[in-house]
Structure 1
Amino acid sequence: MARITFPYEGFGDAVIPDENLMAVLAPRTAEIARGGDLEEVKRALREPIGTPRLKDMVGKGNSALILIDDNTRTTPTARLLPLLLEELSSGGISSDRTAILIALGTHRFMSKAEVEAKVGKDLLQKIRVFQHDAHDESKLANLGTTEHGTEVWINRLLLEYDHVIALGHITPHRVAGFSGGAKIVQPGVSGVVTTGQTHWVSALYDGADIMGTIDNPVRREMNAVAKKARLSFIMNVVLDREERIYRCVCGDPEKAHVAGCEASREIYGIPFSEYADIVVTDTFPADSELWQAAKGIYAGDLPLKQGGILVTVTPCPEGVAQGHPELSEIGYLPFQQVKDMVDRGEFDDLTMAAHIVHVGRIIRDKGKGIIVCPGIERSTSEKLGFIFAETPQEGIDRALSMAGPGAKIIVLKNGGDILPLYSPK
């Protein structure tokens, strides 16, 4: 029997018969630069991709707006900001000419304590910090449309500074292929209309067609939005399984991002040789609510057979979706049902429609979903479309009873980040 542990206190372990377990997949642990992982960041600032050094791009008396991600992401922002600000200072931009905008997308606002942890207590006393509100039209500016018709609504602050710089991290992503790069503008600091239009594009594709692909229709639209929004420089990191900085890329928002995606695949792209009847996944580090924890579901989809069963183990202390409370009432639905509703104009929130499709394709169209989640009660879980289990062991036993005693199982660790890649023997 193989013992499977989960990164959550109080969940308990589970055992899987050796004859059922095919593989346990986990992101890689990297070799870190001598002198510590920040040495890699300093190197990347000295060697930007596709642009001059940042200090040579800016001028004395210029202003800079730094976009950062929120507390649903594990970017070590408080450690990175001092290096970025030092580079700006070397080019003549002082801290009083610099501001930070937290790219919340459609997520909830962060608390004072969360902002302090993200930015750093000392730095918070020296620099202005704003939080994006995708729903407040008075704080948005319209920049026309992209070539493919996406309406570009972005936070007005981006137009008030000479330089717009993005700080984030790069992991596989169901909507954009990979996070990072232009994604911090769209959806990070965009209006809900823009975000809904780009996200609905991703809903028209299976997860395997988007997740882990560098070039895809959604990423191209995000790049187009970011270009209109004047994003000129990125600092993106790739973290290893231990949350240490493996690679940093700086420079052009598209060229540097491509290099970062390739590095991300080196850590998170893990091969498997045979599809499984049952996939068991945690959602770490995307654990705050089910809207985020769905990242583990998307990863679990990739090695799952048609008609298979996905067992998702996640805490979700904030419940289903703080920014989209109506999701609990609608639930996850089959793709065609949602598409028909969108075509009839029954969905005002295309971002939520896309999210419903992303999960619904897996637990409604493709197979079934079992969830182990103390943060969401049984009745809500079942209304969403899941089979509820109290413990990981109960979830696995239930899946085996449904799939049969000979069912083959793959287990995913760090399900919120991992990218299972089919590689037949």
Structure 2
Amino acid sequence: MDDFDFSLPDCDSTVLEPPGGSAVDPREAAEQAVENPHGPHLAEIVSSDETVAIVVTDVTRATPDDVLLDVLLSELSDAGVPREQITVVIGLGLHRPMTDEEIASALDEHADLAENHDADSAVEIGRVSAGASDVPIELNAVVADADRVLSTGMVEPHQYAGFSGGAKTVAIGAGGESLIRYTHGPDMLSHDGVRLGRIEDNPFRETLDRAGDLLGLDFCLNVTHGPQGVLGASAGHHRDVVADLAEIAKEVLSVPVEGEFDAVVAGVPDAKATNLYQATRAATYVVLGDRNPLRSGGRVVVPAELSEGAGEGRGERRFYDRLAGASDPASLYEELRSGYEPGAQRAFVVARALRDHDVYIAGSDHPTIVEDCLMNARESVADAVDPGSDVLVVPNALETLLV
């Protein structure tokens, strides 16, 4: 978080950081995880004559995919699977494609195996029951055709899934619009169980898990992290991996909050500060989390450069169009309750937060875009906070669970 450097001399500030735990070496943790998986070892799952698709995260998540992929490929090599039978699919969901330079940086020597997912080319592989209806599950054609499906992932706090990772990397990252439309729709996101930090009795998480079972996610290797770095790794069955790492994450990321504040300065990791779609997660994690620390009329200030403006993917464009076309948050929220296209769910939750609290983006390269989207642009954090305010500073709002 290169932009998280400011001074508020006229305010009473409280800095809140989670315990953080102790960082581990990502490679050692990943190797130990695959040696002690939840379920059978990878070598017991794959055969030398089978094709393998490995779905990895995209540039919006700070996952050490080069290390995780290297560990998985080593295991596959030991199992006798030739490299030419392996394809790596970058799980974009509806985000923009990664550039060749970004792929090379993320996957290092294994970049030649990778291709960007295209949601438009996804094929239906089946349906999962969801309430009174069935939801079509669409999957990247390469992944659908593979004999075995593996994935990497980052188990970190997620606004809807409780924690990301597990089946989400494949079901959403390498899926089509149908599952995204259902899971990110207003009926799902208005459900009480759909909240940050909760995986039990969370219908969003359960739908993803059922999709993971249906699509045949054979083995996943995930990590979790905190301010100090990677805190642990887990491998094997996707449900167990998420449960395992979510417990670690909750223990090291939860922080009690006392009192109420006029403003929260909420930082985001560099990977999320590149566009408004991602950066607004800081505001919604604060306002719509388990414990909203703001008093009535309080504001959230997010320092973010926004080098990509609102964002360049299909979902990000829909997010911008909805917010920019609205007159006020309350009417937009009511309008979106009747439905929206995938991607616009972020406009829905932002509008929900904006009904009660103003959001300021500080230090943006695109202040006009910020203002278009019913938020406030300021040159610095100090410009966004009134003198004399009681301020809560959360250096990384996406890695802090306020309780």
- 8 Å contact kept, 1:283–1:297: no
Tell me, what secondary structure is at the counterpart of 2:397? coil
- Confirm or deny: 8 A CA contact 2:160 2:204 kept in the other structure: yes
Give the distance between the partners of 1:355 and 1:381, measured in 2 at CA. Answer: 14
> 1:210-248 CA distances to partner (integer Å, 9 max, x unpaired)?
0011221111111111211111211000123133x2100
Equivalent pair of 1:296/1:417 in contact (CA under 8 Å): no
What is the identity, as a one-letter code, of the residue corresponding to 1:15? L
Instruction: Find the counterpart in structure 2 of residue 351 from structure 1.
Output: 343
Counterpart position of 1:39: 28
CA change 1:306–1:143 in 2 (3 A) is: farther
Paired position in structure 2 for 1:24: 15
Say whether 1:63 aligns with 2:48.
Answer: no
Q: Equivalent pairs: percent with the same residue?
A: 24
Match of 2:322 among 330, 337, 342: 330
Q: Say which of 164, 179, 184 aligns to 2:169.
A: 184
Q: Secondary structure at the match of 2:379?
A: coil
C-alpha distance in structure 1 between counterparts of 2:350 and 2:9, whole Å: 26
Aligned to 1:281: 266
Partner of residue 224, structure 1: 210
Judged with a 3 Å threshold, the aligned counterparts in structure 2 of structure 1 residues 314 and 396 are, in CA distance, closer, same or farther, namely same
1:8 equivalent to 2:2? Answer: yes
**Are 1:185 and 1:225, in contact at CA under 8 Å, matched by a contact in 2?**
no
Residue-by-residue CA offset, 1:300-346 (whole Å, 9 max, x unaligned): 22332343211111111000121232433431754664444552x6x
- C-alpha distance in structure 1 between counterparts of 2:196 and 2:317, whole Å: 26
Q: TM-score, normalised by structure 1?
A: 0.85
Amino acid at match of 1:92: G
- Which amino acid in the other structure matches residue 413 of structure 1? P
Tell me which amino acid in the other structure corresponds to 1:389.
Answer: R
- SS, match of residue 348 in structure 2: helix
Offset, 1:16: 4.3
Structure 2 equivalent of residue 305 of structure 1: 295
8 Å contact kept, 1:81–1:119: yes
SS in 1 for 2:399: coil
1:194-273 mapped onto 2 (5 Å cutoff):
194-200=179-185, 201-205=187-191, 210-215=195-200, 216-243=202-229, 245-273=230-258
Q: Is the 8 A contact 2:165 2:242 kept in 1?
A: yes
CA distance in 2, matches of 1:321, 1:283: 15
Cα distance in 2 between the residues matched to 1:147 and 1:369: 34
Which residue of 1 is the match for residue 385 of structure 2? 396
Q: Is residue 2:373 matched to residue 1:413?
A: no
Distance 1:230 1:222 in 2: 12
8 Å CA contact retained: 2:37, 2:236 = yes
Q: Which residue number in structure 1 is paired with residue 82 of structure 2? A: 94
TM-score when normalising by structure 2 = 0.89
Provide structure 1 residue ranges, at least 5 long, that are not aligned to the other structure: 1-6
Counterparts in 2 of 1:203 and 1:147: CA distance versus 1, 3 Å = closer
Aligned in 2, Cα 1:225/1:336: closer, same or farther, shift over 3 Å?
farther
After TM superposition, the structure 1 stretch with the greater mean CA deviation from structure 2, 140-149 or 158-167, is 140-149
Contact kept? 1:287, 1:314, Cα under 8 Å: yes
1:368 and 1:75 mapped to 2: Cα distance? 31
Alpha-carbon deviations, 1:373-407, whole Å to 9, x = none? 42222x3322211122111111113xx5xxxx4x4
CA distance in 1, matches of 2:33, 2:176: 31
Correspondence for 1:3: none
8 Å CA contact 1:274–1:303 kept in 2: the answer is yes
Equivalent pair of 1:329/1:383 in contact (CA under 8 Å): no
Please give the alpha-carbon distance, in whole angstroms, between the structure 2 residues aligned to 1:154 and 1:107: 16
Distance 1:221 1:190 in 2: 13
1:280, distance to aligned residue in structure 2 (A): 1.0
- The aligned counterpart of 1:48 is 37
Q: Provide the rounded CA distance (Å) in 2 between the counterparts of 1:242 and 1:282.
A: 15
Cα distance in 2 for partners of 1:416, 1:375 equals 22
Aligned-residue CA RMSD (Å): 2.3
**Structural mapping, 1:109-120, within 5 Å:** 109-120=97-108
**Is this contact kept in 1: 2:137–2:179, CA < 8 A?**
yes
Q: Whole-Å Cα distance in 1 between the matches of residues 237 and 260 of structure 2? A: 38
Equivalent pair of 2:277/2:319 in contact (CA under 8 Å)? no
SS at 1:416 equivalent: helix
Q: 1:12 to 1:232 in 2, by over 3 A?
A: closer
Call closer, same or farther: CA 1:129–1:144 in 2, change over 3 Å.
same
The answer to which of 286-295 and 380-389 deviates more is: 380-389
Amino acid in structure 2 at the alignment position of 1:327:
F
Name the SS of the counterpart of 1:210 in structure 2: coil
Distance 1:84 1:28, change over 3 A: farther
Query: What is the number of equivalent residue pairs in this alignment?
Result: 389
1:132 matched residue in structure 2 = 117
Cα offset, 1:142, TM superposition: 4.2
**Counterpart of 2:32 in structure 1: which amino acid?**
R
Of residues 317, 321, 326, the one that matches 2:307 is 317
- For residues 224 and 259 of structure 1, what CA distance do their matches in structure 2 show? 18
- Structure 1 counterpart SS, 2:167: helix
Distance 1:212 1:313, change over 3 A: same
Partners of 1:66 and 1:165 in 2: CA distance = 5
Take 2:373 and 2:223, find their aligned partners in 1: how far apart are those partners?
34
